[in-house]
Structure 1
Amino acid sequence: MEFYLSDLLGDAVINQSKEKIGTVLDFVITDISATLPRVRGLVIKRGINKEAVFIPYSDLSVISPKLVKLTTDLVDLTPFIQRNDEVLLAKDVYDKQIVDIDDRRLTRANDLLLEEAHHVLVLKGVDVSVVGILKRLKIPTPANLLKHNIIDWKDVQFLGGPSPMKFKIHYKKLEALHPVDIARIIFEGPGYKQGSRVLASLQDPIAADIIEELSPKLQQNLIEAMKLDDVANVINQMPAHKAADLFVTLGSDYFKKILPLMSLAKIEQIKSLLNYPEFSTGAYMTTDYVAIPSGMTLDQVFTHLSKIEQLPDFMLYMYVLESEFANKLVGVLSVYELFAQDRRSRVETAMVKNLIVSHPQDHIKDSLKKMHRYNLSALPVISRNNGNRLIGVVTFRDAVSYYLPKRWKVRIRHVLPILE
């Protein structure tokens, strides 16, 4: 049997002897991130002082839109105090923002649908329609004009409200979306404080991807609302060239505070990028790429890729090195060839040996021209004077940002000194 929460709130609560002992104030669940959160019990208000008292679900014999009946005359009159793991449906979920995972949109919980079956009461769905609001206001709605719009709870990501919640919210459903969608959803409604709490709760690689998708202004407002430890964790997961861009956005004063919390390896990567001239290829390249030794078989490449915790966002090519211990570039293996060739083949037979490369000192326009001329989506960047040593990759997507406003002079003048 299904019930809307709005139909149950305010119901009379009677004991086994059919004496009224109070009215329904709220329902309690403990795991709001579950597929079907179970109701542990209800909170009633009783007496002249309207004291809140908890009734376990096991003490209920009848639940209906007219009344709630208990199986006993004995009620624990201890005043109800909400615990940290408890969620009150009316108090904590009504009117709060939720994400419709299927439609990738932000909406609001206007009413809640409960279902009772086999002596278990669960939160089944959310009504996001106008009907949900009208029912709570006790305004009659013609059935043929307005209809409920129910989203199953399994397809809902609860975001919470503007104030910190006592209970912990897990964001596994949200993490399944594309970072672009998550960025849009978080900042369409919740605001920076709540958005920073959501972001800090996501896995670091996902949080880093989301920040990369934001405009500089949104990045600044969001990060300034986050704790320094959380920001450092996110930046350590970002590609160095994206982290360098973030340095410019936030300014040197902010990063003086955060540098002690960052990994030394990430700081060194950022320093190396910031040292390149303003419009050089080195200023636009990334150190986030996949390199493999030439002695591997293609089957071993698949195994190698499966062990990489997070692959680069843009990976049409893998860069083949002379050996596992040498950084000398000897070839490029495309993802297409990886799948097209016999997996027993060796990398050196499937790779392209006639390399089209760029150098960090080359003007970025020259690298763009090469990519256009040879129909490439990325170029390996090698050291000009150090025997084809691979130092980075420049993608077409990053290179075309040359035609957008850049602040490399500001970056080098104000940010680089604090890294020394």
Structure 2
Amino acid sequence: MTDAIACRGDPVFYLSQLLDQPVLDRQGGRIGTVRDLVIQFGSASHPSVCGIVVSHARREVFLDPRQVAEVSRQGVRLATFSLNLRPFERRSGEALLRHDILDKQLIDIDGRRLVRANDLLLACVEGELRLVAVDVSIQGLLRRLGPDVLTGNLVSHRLIDWADVESFATDVPMVRLRLAHEGLSKLHPVDIAHIIDQLSLRQGREVLESLADETAADAVQELAPEEAAGLLEGLHRERAADILDEMEPNDAADVLAEMPVEQAADLLDRMEPDEAIDVRALLTYPEDTAAGLMTTEFITMPEQLTVAEALERLRALPEPPTPLYALYLVPVPESRQLSGVVPLRNLVLAGPQMRLDQLAQPGYPTVHPEEPAREVASTMAEYHLTDLPVVDEEGRILGVVVVDDAMEVILPERARRWLAEQPFRS
């Protein structure tokens, strides 16, 4: 276990109050100034300070915790009469609070947003000096200008527990392994996408690398296709293909359409064959048509089944399509001839012995693959539909346009982003 600075001095203070303060020997003689503090990156929810970088005679030397007698906002006092002049060399996994974290972007998990570390709060916890919180307020900046700048509590401060923020391994030169970003992975995909949207490509790729395939896919689907393509282009090809496998086929096709032809073809070759077939088919359609909007993941069932039989089949599905708005009826299992549509609400409210064809909604609209996307969206708005089947000239179902994709045609980009940021999502 890494040695830590023991608590002897002020129980709580800010990093800015300690930086550039004097380092004194045991007799009180000044031998340098505090340049930075060292922690083990990602080692704990509140990592211990495991060393001090001291500026001495225009050199940076490492101060071992065993040499420290006291740390306070007035500076550092040594337990020895002299300073070990061993040059500071960053070890694997170590982070410097000033160099790597102060003034950097962090992810506020509870607030579901990016914040800037204007100052860092240090405190004695279990006998060790630890990093406990981040000050993201304007007061954190003003404090660094000197004590005379702040007067009382005229400027409020905002502290975020260090356990509730996540930093980026890409900001720390000696961190080779990606961070887990476990807190981020628990957020709604829209929130993850909103955060990624504010990051650099490098940081966005780090976030995607840290997420499970399904979570990463859900987040990528919430991004604009050109932005998603830029992120996936920088990932390892196998990893990018795994994420595409988990995406809705129409979303995966939209992203691949934004990539160079050679790279898109390579990723298609690396995808699971069953997933790639649907995506390849969608890529043959113009983007601004019904076929370009549709997903090929939907559920067909024989029209003569009872409600009980249909529900049993639904429960047996390993991965039902998401979202699932309706069942699409066919005469026999092998057929794709659309004979009716049963909204999920009708299915749930019906008696167990009722046949599916008795529940089919009469006059349910359909569209052809070449129908312009705006006409598709207009039809869905006019009939208040959550889903709209796409059928060929023989009436065989090819896919389904869902309301989320239709909304992207109607609403401008700015309005979609505004809706995505609103707090009324479940």
- Matching of residues 346-361 of structure 1 within 5 Å: 352-353=359-360, 356=364, 358=366, 361=369
Quick check: 1:12–1:24 contact (8 Å CA) kept in 2?
yes
Counterpart of 2:13? 3
- Matching of residues 381-400 of structure 1 within 5 Å: 381=390, 391-399=398-406
Counterpart of 1:211? 220
Counterpart of 1:408? none
Give the % identical residues: 32
Counterpart of 2:295? 286
Q: CA deviation at 1:107?
A: 2.4
354-363 vs 325-334, greater mean Cα deviation: 325-334
1 CA distance for matches of 2:216 and 2:275? 17
326-335 vs 234-243, greater mean Cα deviation: 326-335
Counterpart of 2:40? 30
Quick check: 2:67–2:80 contact (8 Å CA) kept in 1?
yes
2 CA distance for matches of 1:31 and 1:360? 56
Structure 2 residue matching 1:143: 3-state secondary structure: coil
1:50 aligns with 2:59: yes
Structure 2 residue matching 1:282: 3-state secondary structure: helix
Q: CA deviation at 1:87?
A: 1.5
Q: CA deviation at 1:116?
A: 0.8
Distance 1:208 1:12, change over 3 A: same
Structure 2 residue matching 1:272: 3-state secondary structure: helix
Residue by residue over 1:85-107, the C-alpha shift from the partner in whole angstroms, topping out at 9 and shown as x without a partner, is 11211111011011333333322
2 CA distance for matches of 1:370 and 1:24? 67
Q: CA deviation at 1:263?
A: 2.9
Counterpart of 1:170? 180
1 CA distance for matches of 2:43 and 2:312? 39
Task: Indicate which of 113, 119, 125 corresponds to 1:105.
Answer: 113
Counterpart of 2:196? 186
Distance 1:282 1:299, change over 3 A: closer
Distance 1:64 1:322, change over 3 A: farther
1:138 aligns with 2:146: yes
Give, as a single letter, the amino acid of the residue that structure 2 aligns with 1:316: Y
1 CA distance for matches of 2:298 and 2:327? 7
Q: CA deviation at 1:338?
A: 6.8
Counterpart of 1:409? none
2 CA distance for matches of 1:335 and 1:29? 54
Quick check: 2:48–2:130 contact (8 Å CA) kept in 1?
yes
- Matching of residues 198-277 of structure 1 within 5 Å: 198-276=207-285
Quick check: 2:389–2:400 contact (8 Å CA) kept in 1?
yes
Quick check: 1:298–1:346 contact (8 Å CA) kept in 2?
no
Counterpart of 2:123? 115
Give, as a single letter, the amino acid of the residue that structure 2 aligns with 1:393: V
TM-score w.r.t. the length of structure 2 is: 0.73
1 CA distance for matches of 2:58 and 2:276? 61
Q: CA deviation at 1:332?
A: 5.8
2 CA distance for matches of 1:20 and 1:236? 62
Q: CA deviation at 1:378?
A: 0.8
Give, as a single letter, the amino acid of the residue that structure 1 aligns with 2:272: S
Quick check: 2:119–2:141 contact (8 Å CA) kept in 1?
yes
Structure 2 residue matching 1:242: 3-state secondary structure: helix
Give, as a single letter, the amino acid of the residue that structure 1 aligns with 2:105: Q
2 CA distance for matches of 1:126 and 1:174? 17
Distance 1:32 1:302, change over 3 A: farther
1:129 aligns with 2:137: yes
81-90 vs 146-155, greater mean Cα deviation: 146-155
2 CA distance for matches of 1:86 and 1:24? 17
Q: CA deviation at 1:47?
A: 4.7
Structure 2 residue matching 1:250: 3-state secondary structure: coil
CA RMSD of aligned residues (A): 4.3
Matched length: 395
Q: CA deviation at 1:153?
A: 1.9
Quick check: 1:55–1:75 contact (8 Å CA) kept in 2?
no
1 CA distance for matches of 2:186 and 2:23? 42
Residue by residue over 1:90-142, the C-alpha shift from the partner in whole angstroms, topping out at 9 and shown as x without a partner, is 11101101133333332211110112133033222111223222333436222
Structure 2 residue matching 1:106: 3-state secondary structure: strand
Give, as a single letter, the amino acid of the residue that structure 2 aligns with 1:115: A
Give, as a single letter, the amino acid of the residue that structure 1 aligns with 2:138: V
Q: CA deviation at 1:72?
A: 6.3
Structure 2 residue matching 1:148: 3-state secondary structure: coil
- Matching of residues 58-69 of structure 1 within 5 Å: 60-69=68-77
1 CA distance for matches of 2:288 and 2:143? 61
- Matching of residues 311-330 of structure 1 within 5 Å: 312=322, 314-318=323-327
Give, as a single letter, the amino acid of the residue that structure 2 aligns with 1:127: D
TM-score w.r.t. the length of structure 1 is: 0.74
Counterpart of 1:414? none
Task: Indicate which of 374, 379, 399 corresponds to 2:388.
Answer: 379
Quick check: 1:41–1:54 contact (8 Å CA) kept in 2?
no
Residue by residue over 1:204-224, the C-alpha shift from the partner in whole angstroms, topping out at 9 and shown as x without a partner, is 333333333333443454444
Residue by residue over 1:150-182, the C-alpha shift from the partner in whole angstroms, topping out at 9 and shown as x without a partner, is 222233232466686625333222333333333
Give, as a single letter, the amino acid of the residue that structure 1 aligns with 2:35: L
Unaligned ranges ≥5, structure 1: 406-420
